[in-house]
């Protein structure tokens, strides 16, 4: 089989772009090499067969290559953590804007997953104190791999814990991209490979978000910044209706869809 034929074979189960990424991953070469050596014969590749099986099982390519691009960086990813979504870059930008109000911002992230949010914050805010939790041991393992890769192991305290249980410190900012999909929502096949406790937020979907709002009040946090589902703006507004706060702003993603909020308590 030639490189060109292998690319065609993979493309049948994905896209030409993904086929190029996957074959360069198998051959450990760059994509230019594939273009320049289209006619090169490949030996029977066990790895190619394995990848074709994974694609038939609808495995996202990020879980096959163990790599994901996010915020112009390459992170390690595995099936134990949610694949970072591009819209979460906006959540990070919102935190960075707010963090400017503090000399040494104390930031807690609930649900660190692969580590993308806390790591980008630590890299961009050299004076920040960062702490993060997750209920998933597997996710924490992946976050730690990324923290080491970006040399921020000593900048982020990480706890295997629910919400901020067992954490006594106070924070200026709580940030979270929590699970916010309703439990009975029928996911597309590809999403079934992602950890379900990273996606489902309860019967309605907004339960974890509401718990995080309550927690921010209990902890007298100054700002809460969260990603949310496209249809949760009204639910959050209603939940905060009779509460005291200074300001509530919502932001949209690049498709113009409501995607998160910044609550100044």
Ligand X SMILES: C[S@@+](CC[C@H](N)C(=O)[O-])C[C@H]1O[C@@H](n2cnc3c(N)ncnc32)[C@H](O)[C@@H]1O
Contact of 3 with 45, CB cutoff 8 Å: no
Provide the Cα torsion 216, 221, 227, 232; round to 10°.
Answer: 50
- Minimum distance of ligand X from residue 108's CB (angstroms): 10
Q: Which is nearer to ligand X, 117 or 145 (CB)?
A: 117
Pick 34 or 94: Cβ nearer ligand X: 94
Q: Which residues bind ligand X (CB under 6 A)?
A: 81-82, 84, 88, 110-114, 116-117, 133-136, 139, 162-163, 177-179, 197-198, 208
Q: How far apart are CA 75 and CA 1, in angstroms?
A: 32
Q: Tokens for 155?
A: 């900048």
Beta carbon of residue 9, minimum distance to ligand X (angstroms, whole number): 32
Nearer to ligand X, 3 or 200 (CB): 200
Q: How far apart are CB 253 and ligand X at their closest, in Å?
A: 13
Q: How far is the CB of 254 from ligand X (least distance, A)?
A: 16
At its nearest, how many Å lie between ligand X and the CB of residue 238?
Answer: 22
Sequence-separated (6 or more) residues with CB below 8 Å from residue 152: 118, 119, 122, 123
Which alpha helices (H) appear in the chain, and where do they start and end? 3-11, 16-27, 31-36, 46-56, 61-65, 88-99, 116-124, 137-149, 207-218, 233-239
Distance (Å, whole) CA 185 – CA 162: 23
Give CA–CA dist 28/7, Å, rounded: 15
The minimum distance between CB 114 and ligand X, in angstroms, equals: 6
Q: Which is nearer to ligand X, 26 or 113 (CB)?
A: 113
Closer residue to ligand X, CB minimum distance, 64 or 77? 77
Cβ nearer to ligand X, comparing 82 with 98: 82
User: Which C-beta is closer to ligand X: that of 150 or that of 163?
Assistant: 163
For the beta carbon of residue 185, count every other beta carbon within 10 angstroms: 12
- Provide the minimum distance between the beta carbon of 213 and ligand X in the complex, in angstroms, as a whole number: 13
DSSP-derived secondary structure for 209-254: HHHHHHHHHHTT-SEEEEE--TT-HHHHHHHTTTS--SEEEEEE-T
Of 112, 117, 113, residue with least CA distance to 94: 117
């Amino acid at each position: 089989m030639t490189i060109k034929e292998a690319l065609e074979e993979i493309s049948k189960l994905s896209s030409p772009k993904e086929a190029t990424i996957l074959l360069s991953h198998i051959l450990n070469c760059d994509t230019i090499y594939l273009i320049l050596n289209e006619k090169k014969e490949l030996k029977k590749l066990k790895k190619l067969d394995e990848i074709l099986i994974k694609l038939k099982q609808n495995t996202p390519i990020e879980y096959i290559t163990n790599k994901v691009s996010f915020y112009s960086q390459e992170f390690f990813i595995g099936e134990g953590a949610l694949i970072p979504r591009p819209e979460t870059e906006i959540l990070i930008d919102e935190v960075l804007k707010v963090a400017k109000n503090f000399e040494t911002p104390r930031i807690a992230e609930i649900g660190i997953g692969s580590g993308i949010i806390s790591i980008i914050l630590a890299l961009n805010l050299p004076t920040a104190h960062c702490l993060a939790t997750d209920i998933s041991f597997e996710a924490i393992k992946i976050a730690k791999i990324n923290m080491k890769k970006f040399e921020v192991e000593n900048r982020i305290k990480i706890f295997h814990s629910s919400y901020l249980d067992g954490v006594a410190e106070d924070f200026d900012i709580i940030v979270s991209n929590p699970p916010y999909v309703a439990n009975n929502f029928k996911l597309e096949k590809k999403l079934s490979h992602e950890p379900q406790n990273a996606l489902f937020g309860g019967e309605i979907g907004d339960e974890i978000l509401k718990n995080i709002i309550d927690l921010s009040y209990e902890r007298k946090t100054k700002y809460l910044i969260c990603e949310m589902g496209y249809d949760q703006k009204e639910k959050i507004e209603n939940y905060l209706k009779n509460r005291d706060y200074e300001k509530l702003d919502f932001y949209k993603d690049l498709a113009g869809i409501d995607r998160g909020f910044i609550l100044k308590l």
